[in-house]
Structure 1
Amino acid sequence: MEMTLTKVHGSMNTFYMFESDEREDFAQLAIRLSALDPDIDGILVILPSAVAHAKMRVFNNDGSEASMCGNGLRCVARYVCERDRVQEAVIETLKALLRVKKEETLNEGIETYAVEIAPVSFSLSSLPMKYGDNSEWIHQALPFVSEKIPFSAVAVPNPHLIGIVPQEMQKDPSHQQKWAQYFNGENEYFSDGVNVSYVTPMENGIFVRTYERGVGFTNACGTAMTASALVSCMAELVPYGDVAVYNPGGMVKCSVSKQGDDIQLQLTGNATYLSVVKFDWSNNAEESSILSSESLEEQAFYEKFVGNISNLSKQFV
């Protein structure tokens, strides 16, 4: 069966995106496409929804399904808004109905969308995470990992463990890699694995590097960046409101509002189309192949944008 895929990215978190009805082989498709194209982090599937403009499912490159993907949701938001000729829409995800909308461009030639990130939970059972008799873990060291790194655990709804670290630990990610691989293997703390982010405050925002569950180190993870912005506000590293979040793939804006227990999060950034791909999906996955790829011109605008901000983040990469 021949399929038309669009290769897309949000902050260089890269996917193949397509519209479909429900099928049982999306996981196998993600694994096969990732084998053919190591640049991608997975696939975004746009499905019909009875309660929203569309439904989004996200499959990582190892075939596991994510509850949500903030960078991918921006790309899906663009597709749905352009398809339905609307400026705002509601997208159904596995755990929430999320509002999305077209925004003013980050820079010339960059399609920009804002997406709601929800729900938010600090309950360790929602990740899940088990550590003694604790029900939450906010801005405290995990002594067996490091006495010096304050960690916070939060689900948005993807599970995240966020540590605030000095700049030198961003330059050398070996410590992060060691513990992220441990927490995403057989371990006593995270039965389903966890996204592990290291965060460092900057003069005008924060820098975030993420080891993503089911992916490994990624250029950016939308829910991780938003959760990191929330944790940074709670730790008084940055003020509540709009937080500039830099990452190896670029920069996004995370809006954080907290009144009592009510937390509102929004992620704004690029939704860039890289190419249109023809793919032959065979019943025998090994015989499936990419037939053709037509590059689009949007990436040049994004690279210009990244070039303009590279001096701010190059100290971390």
Structure 2
Amino acid sequence: MELNIIKCHGSGNDFFIIDEMAHSYELTDQQRSSLAILLCNRETELGADGILFVQMSEHADACMRVFNSDGSEASMCGNGLRCVARYVCEKLSLKEAVIETMKADLQVSVQDDLHDGVPTYMVEISPISFNVKDLPLHIEEKELIQGKLPTLSKELAFTALAVPNPHIISVVNKEQLQSSIQKKLSETVNGPNDLFPDGVNVSFVLPLRKGEIYVRTFERGVGFTNACGTAMSASSLVTCLLDLNQKEEIIQVYNNGGKVRCVVHEDHIDLIGNASYVFSCYVKVDLDGSAFRVTNKQEYNEEINRYKELEKIAASVLGEYL
């Protein structure tokens, strides 16, 4: 099997795009899962956080399916959706589009560059639910908003929400952020446990100044990532609930891969950030033998360099606080 792929990233959260609209690969879900495990392995010459499969939709401009590096399928991916938004809008010559995802059809649109020469897209993050059954989280209460989960931490308060991926968010101080707490509890809730049977994304949020936050996420099925789009969106919402930021106002969200902007509305969140291409290539895959060979690799050097400039700006801001 020979695949045409594009390596892309949103805030350093990197993926491969495989276009099933233009190519009749006739992949099964088991093959998609196997491809994700094989191609996303960072010990190979490729490596990524996941694969974005772009498919035909009966009622939207395209459909996005997301397979994590461990082979599991995610219901949504905000950073990945920006990359798919760019791919679909450029493919179909659109300024805005509707992308079908597992739980909802989401609006996407081209935006002014976040930084000179950095392609930027806005994507809708929804639906939003605070019902613990939608994560699921097994506790007696119907919601967990700034509440304690004593088996995880006696100090930290958590907010649980689905957007629609499941998240627990904790607003922390610098010392808590730099400790090993996040790694330990993330590994706990993403292994066999009584609270989150399906696992959960875990984010620590450090408020910077008004309208600015830093978010670090341990992503279910991946581990620590440079950024997680739905986590940054959920974290922005949580800071509005705590009156650290305001709805309908731009929140600058910094992450280990750069920065995005979020605007929290009553029923959804706007996630605005880069959709950058790294390289394109052909991959000859032998799934039976779990092997592949890369050919015709072409790098997008100008885009890579432009995003590095944005990374430096973001890093200089974080250097004041971390």
User: Are 1:118 and 2:122 an aligned pair?
Assistant: no
Report the counterpart of residue 288 of structure 1 in structure 2. Answer: 292
1:197 to 2:203 alignment: yes
Instruction: Report the Cα distance in structure 2 between the residues aligned to 1:27 and 1:244, rounded to whole angstroms.
Output: 34
CA distance in 2, matches of 1:268, 1:113: 6
TM-score normalised by L of structure 1 = 0.95
- Number of matched residues? 311
The code of the aligned residue for 1:106 comes to L
Q: Of the candidates 297, 315, 318, which is equivalent to residue 313 of structure 1? A: 318
Q: CA deviation at 1:45?
A: 0.5
Is residue 214–residue 254 contact of structure 2 (8 Å, CA) maintained in 1?
Answer: yes
Question: Within the alignment, does 1:168 sit opposite 2:175 as a pair?
Answer: yes
Question: By how many angstroms is 1:10 displaced?
Answer: 0.1
Letter in 2 for 1:267: L
- Tell me, in whole angstroms, the C-alpha distance in 1 between the residues paired with 2:163 and 2:148: 21
Query: What stretches of structure 1 of length at least 5 have no aligned partner?
Result: none
Q: Which amino acid counterpart does residue 213 of structure 1 have in structure 2? A: R
Specify the SS of the correspondent of 1:300.
helix
CA contact (8 A) 1:229 1:256 kept: yes
Of 146-155 and 41-50, deviating more is 146-155
Moved more, 98-107 or 234-243: 234-243
Using a 3 Å threshold, how does the CA distance of structure 1 residues 154 and 237 change in structure 2: closer, same or farther? same
Q: Which runs of 4+ in 1 moved over 4 A?
A: none
**One-letter amino acid of the counterpart of residue 254, structure 1:** C
**Which residue identity lines up with residue 311 of structure 1 in the other structure?**
S
Q: Equivalent of 2:307, from 290, 295, 302?
A: 302
User: What are the Cα deviations for residues 98-138 of structure 1, in whole angstroms up to 9, with x where unaligned?
Assistant: 0000000011110000000011000000000002x111100
**2:271 maps to 1:264:** no
Distance in 2 separating the partners of 1:169 and 1:43: 32
Specify which of 49, 53, 59 is matched with residue 41 of structure 1. Answer: 49
Instruction: Render the CA deviation track for 1:127-158: whole Å, top value 9, x for unaligned.
Output: 00002x11110011222322332200000000
Name the aligned partner's letter for residue 186 of structure 1: P
Residues 290-316 of structure 1: CA distance to partner in whole angstroms, max 9, x if unpaired?
Answer: 234221120100001111221211356
CA distance in 2, matches of 1:37, 1:116: 33
Q: Distance in 1 between matches of 2:285 and 2:115?
A: 37
Percent of aligned positions that are identical: 44
After superposition, give the CA deviation of every residue in 1:200-256 in whole Å (9 maximum; x if it has no partner): 100141100000000000000000000000011101111222111111111000110
Contact 1:120 1:154 in 2 (8 A): yes
Q: Secondary structure at the match of 2:265?
A: strand
Does the CA-based 8 Å contact 2:35-2:287 persist in structure 1? Answer: no
For the Cα contact (< 8 Å) 1:15–1:41, is it kept in 2?
yes
| CA distance, structure 2, for counterparts of residue 62 and residue 213 of structure 1 | 9
How far apart in 1 are the matches of 2:120 and 2:274?
4
Aligned-residue CA RMSD (Å) = 1.4
- Give 1:60's aligned residue: 68
Offset from partner CA, 1:146-171 (integer Å, 9 cap, x none): 23322000000000011111012223
CA contact (8 A) 2:19 2:53 kept: yes
The aligned counterpart of 1:215 is 222
Contact 2:213-2:253 at 8 Å conserved across structures? yes
